Amino acid sequence: MRHAAQLQATIDLLDQIEETRYPADRIMSSYFKQRRYIGSKDKAAISENLYTILRNKMRFEYILNSKDLGVHSRMLVALLLKFEDGDLYNTFDGDKYSPKRLRPGQLERFAELDLNVIDSAPLHVQLNVPEWIAPKLEAALGERFEQEMIATNKSATTDIRVNTLKSSVPPVDQALADVGYVAHKTDLSPWAIRFEKRVALFGLPSFKQGWFEVQDEGSQLLALLTGVKAGQKVVDFCAGAGGKTLAMAAMMENKGTIYACDVHTRRLEQLGKRTKRAGVHNVRTHVLSSEHDKWVKKHAGYADVVLLDAPCTGTGTWRRSPDSRWNLTQQNLDDLVALQQSILQSAKRLVKPGGRLLYATCSMLNEENEQQIERFLETNPEFSIDTFDVPDILAKYPERFQNSGHEIRTFPAMTGTDGFYVASLRRSEEVDA
């Protein structure tokens, strides 16, 4: 494809995202499936264009509005070209597979654009953060606010978790090197290998053989911090597609039982395929009708460990889903906070006396994290804070994450991972199941 055609494809994708409000990765996947003729290099270029605009959307809009140019998709892509010192006139030439030309008046105003005007924009615009949520993030992050928001506008790394049921880090590292991939072992997770750029992994023999799974190091740390052991009974209450379920299964050496529960049938179906590839035998799945499913009452007092990775705003994953910040509202946050409270009240029933409840989110907001735990402890006196027994590999780097004893946070800038929060609670031995 010519560069102009790549830019027109970017415009098409932006239009679809605006019209449907569907996630960008979903839109892009469908777009490419319908256009098999688009090669891998062109897909990579189009993807980079799209995500660059989504990561800078508020900044781009501010610059365009400084000359009353409007903020529709074609203008956003034209501004991207300007940042790249591209030839606007000969690229936006109106050919069959090229963007339409700008009108004469638009061309004149576009030529007058001062890209440095962004330096005088409000801070939330410079940081590409919706105005309504900026104070909440600043309250949660304090002096780290600007640094962490800048990090959310950068591309995320690609991390994999080595599956210790089938392999170990050195052989996987060597298998990747044998196919020409450049990767390195990370510091915090004992199983993580990192690629600084996006790479095609799912076609590799080592992946098909179950040697590794794609999983952010922060998510791996969340599984590590559960401290699950062989022979235990564990519930992953909001398991999704099961990344943390698989990590815990490996920690348990396939001994004991993990129930992976979720309200989404398709996600759990994916887990079935993944367990087979990974050689995992101790996972059972259950599709919940809601957080109040009768299954929960039937299994009350069952588990040594319950992991609740709750539905949340996903502010800690903005590096990976830069478009998600634009679809988030105060009402969304309020609804999620209420849902998290409801799920917590239900999931707690699964914890046996003396057992642990771990509450986690991929959010950086206090409302979804510390405040939820404070509220839960006030209304559930049978639970108390439980100080993490930090694994040795993490204890070497106390400056790389926040640890208040029973609560641990990771951050994009500080940790180099997605932003996760996890709190550890323990149920009293005296409470009846």
Residue 431 has pLDDT above 60, yes or no: no
Structure tokens of 346? 């239900």
* Distance of alpha carbon 345 from alpha carbon 365, whole angstroms: 20
* Distance of alpha carbon 187 from alpha carbon 185, whole angstroms: 7
Between the CA of residue 389 and those of 57, 227, 357, 403, what are the distances in Å?
Answer: 42, 8, 14, 11
User: Cβ atoms within 10 A of the Cβ of 196, count?
Assistant: 11
Q: Determine the pLDDT at residue 385.
A: 97
* Distance of alpha carbon 315 from alpha carbon 283, whole angstroms: 29
Write the CB contacts of 166 (distance below 8 Å, at least 6 apart in sequence).
209, 210, 211, 278, 279
Q: Determine the pLDDT at residue 205.
A: 95
Percent residues over pLDDT 70 in the chain: 99
Q: CB–CB of 400/408 below 8 Å? A: no
- CATH ID of 158-214, from 3.40.120.10, 3.30.70.1170, 3.60.10.10, 3.50.50.60: 3.30.70.1170
Place of tokens 């915090």: 188
Write the CB contacts of 102 (distance below 8 Å, at least 6 apart in sequence).
74, 78, 88, 92, 110
Give per-residue pLDDT as tens, 326-350: 989 999 999 999 999 999 999 999 9
Chain length of the chain? 433
Residue 198's pLDDT band (cuts 50, 70, 90)? confident
Q: Determine the pLDDT at residue 432.
A: 52
Closest residue by Cα to residue 64 from 114, 127, 14: 114
Q: Determine the pLDDT at residue 105.
A: 87
Torsion sign across C-alpha atoms 100, 104, 105, 107: positive
Is domain 217-427 in CATH 3.40.50.300, yes or no? no
Residue 200's pLDDT band (cuts 50, 70, 90)? confident
Q: For the stretch 27-43, what's the b/e string if a residue is b when 16 or more beta carbons lie within 10 angstroms of its beta carbon? A: bbeebbeeeeebeeebb
Long-range Cβ pairs for the range 120-125 (8 Å, 24+): 121/59, 121/62, 124/58, 125/58, 125/59, 125/62
Residue 104's pLDDT band (cuts 50, 70, 90)? confident
Strand partners for 402: 409
* Distance of alpha carbon 74 from alpha carbon 373, whole angstroms: 45
* Distance of alpha carbon 382 from alpha carbon 237, whole angstroms: 20
Considering the chain, what is the average pLDDT of its residues? 94
User: Cβ atoms within 10 A of the Cβ of 91, count?
Assistant: 20
Mean pLDDT of 357-368: 98
Mean pLDDT of 279-301: 94
